[in-house]
Amino acid sequence: MTAPLYRIPGAAMPAVPTPPAPAAAAASAPDAAPRTVSEVLAQAQVEGVIEELERDLIGLAPVKQRIRDIAALLVIDKLRAGFGLQAQTPSLHMCFTGNPGTGKTTVALRMAQILHRLGYVRKGHLVAVTRDDLVGQYIGHTAPKTKDVLKKAMGGVLFIDEAYYLYRPENERDYGQESIEILLQVMENQRDDVVVILAGYKDRMDTFFQSNPGMSSRIAHHLDFPDYAPPELLHIADKMLEQQHYRFGPGSREAFEDYLSRRIAQPHFANARSVRNALERMRLRQATRLFAERDRVLDATALSTLEPQDILACPSARPSRNT
Ligand SMILES: Nc1ncnc2c1ncn2[C@@H]1O[C@H](COP(=O)(O)OP(=O)(O)OP(=O)(O)O)[C@@H](O)[C@H]1O
Ligand SMILES: [Mg+2]
């Protein structure tokens, strides 16, 4: 029996590739097929996105390198297509592993943009889901749920957070398996219209792949997001403050560094997410402090400066989950 094909209703069919223009005509035409890497980059306006990613995201050197490698593959693929050297659409499904707050969602968003600019997805949007969005509670509910999500993701990137929860070996007939089967079909048959990124903790993802070789074999790119070192976390804090027009006042950066060193050692530390949450709390403390000084004339400097007491007042003894 042949497996049913899960084509998403309404999803656009892949565009028919146009034959390459003859070299002489291509050279004179205004929108000539690009012949150099620079031309492809310029035409796709993709360099800006890659530069932005390099600039905005602190650390993540191995991740950035992998993104450059993937971009290189796609650019060369485009140049090859210009010569009629057609190949199968490269498999772009990916797996992002790493601890909470290491930038997986952020990078997935940028990746969607890069794939869009290079013409590998039509729209470039990102649909982020977890098991609950894909798997139903009752018989017959899972297939429509999964297909609905896939329909929304067509032309973009489907980001499945904590993807291993789709597979529950302890339940004999878990509906998650049904969802996985639909995903596998679409990942194979409509890979020119949707890119799937699975995300989660590395060890759990490894176990998931061992039990789901079909999924493992469809993932072409594994990107591992390392935990940030304390100096990187500080740098991330600087960046976040700058973006929000705040700054550390005298002694504040040192106080924050000290706070971070204690926070890292506590449970549920979530890398850059914890930094962001700590800065949010500092902002609140600063507002409370300034609010109390009813008659003080507040200038831009006062309104944007975080003092050491705003940091020292951060509750770090009993952190709540992922703060
Ligand atoms: N390298 C970085 N440089 C600057 N900011 C970062 C970096 N990594 C993450 N952030 C910021 O930290 C926050 C959390 O990042 P993100 O949501 O991408 O992490 P995640 O790995 O998806 O986490 P989770 O597993 O908790 O979903 C975001 O506000 C993001 O902008
Ligand atoms: Mg995330």
Q: Would the pLDDT of 310 be above 90?
A: yes
Return the ligand 1 atom nearest residue 103 CA.
18
Q: Would the pLDDT of 249 be above 80?
A: yes
Protein residue whose Cα sits closest to atom 31 of ligand 1: 106
Rounded average pLDDT over 169-197: 91
Q: If you measure from the C-alpha of residue 92 to the centroid of ligand 1, how many angstroms do you get, rounded to a whole number?
A: 22
Q: If you measure from the C-alpha of residue 159 to the centroid of ligand 1, how many angstroms do you get, rounded to a whole number?
A: 15
Helix 230-243 to helix 271-292 angle, to the nearest 10 degrees? 50
Rounded average pLDDT over 7-20: 40
Angle (nearest 5°) at CA 63 between 51 and 186: 100
70 lines ligand 1 (CB under 6 A): no
Which residue of 60, 95, 106, 198 sits with most ligand 1 atoms within 8 Å of its CB, as the best mutation to test the pocket?
A: 106
SS3 199: strand
Residue 82 confidence (pLDDT): 86
Q: If you measure from the C-alpha of residue 309 to the centroid of ligand 2, how many angstroms do you get, rounded to a whole number?
A: 31
d(CA 272, CA 88): 38
Q: If you measure from the C-alpha of residue 104 to the centroid of ligand 1, how many angstroms do you get, rounded to a whole number?
A: 6
CB–CB of 220/94 below 8 Å? Answer: yes
d(CA 24, CA 43): 20
Residue 15 confidence (pLDDT): 38
Return the ligand 1 atom nearest residue 99 CA.
25
CB–CB of 322/100 below 8 Å? Answer: yes
Return the ligand 1 atom nearest residue 98 CA.
21
101 lines ligand 1 (CB under 6 A): yes
Helix 61-82 to helix 104-117 angle, to the nearest 10 degrees? 10
Q: If you measure from the C-alpha of residue 162 to the centroid of ligand 1, how many angstroms do you get, rounded to a whole number?
A: 15
pLDDT in tens, 146-160: 999 999 999 999 999
Q: If you measure from the C-alpha of residue 54 to the centroid of ligand 1, how many angstroms do you get, rounded to a whole number?
A: 14
Rounded average pLDDT over 221-228: 96
**Virtual CA dihedral for 156, 162, 166, 172, nearest 10 degrees?**
170
CB–CB of 226/62 below 8 Å? Answer: yes
Q: If you measure from the C-alpha of residue 106 to the centroid of ligand 1, how many angstroms do you get, rounded to a whole number?
A: 6
276 lines ligand 1 (CB under 6 A): yes
Residue 86 confidence (pLDDT): 80
Residue 27: exposed, middle, or buried by beta-carbon count in 10 A (0-12, 13-18, 19+)?
Answer: exposed
If you search the block for the tokens 């707050």, which residue do you land on? 101
Return the ligand 1 atom nearest residue 102 CA.
21
Q: Would the pLDDT of 72 be above 80?
A: yes
Cα–Cα distances in angstroms (integers) from residue 223 to residues 43, 49, 66, 114, 316, in the given order: 27, 19, 7, 16, 32
Rounded average pLDDT over 250-271: 95
Question: Token pair for residue 134?
Answer: 């894909």
Q: Would the pLDDT of 49 be above 80?
A: yes
130 lines ligand 1 (CB under 6 A): no
Long-range contacts of 66-70 (CB under 8 A, 24+ apart): 66/221, 66/223, 67/107, 67/110, 67/111, 67/114, 67/223, 70/111, 70/114, 70/221
235 lines ligand 1 (CB under 6 A): no
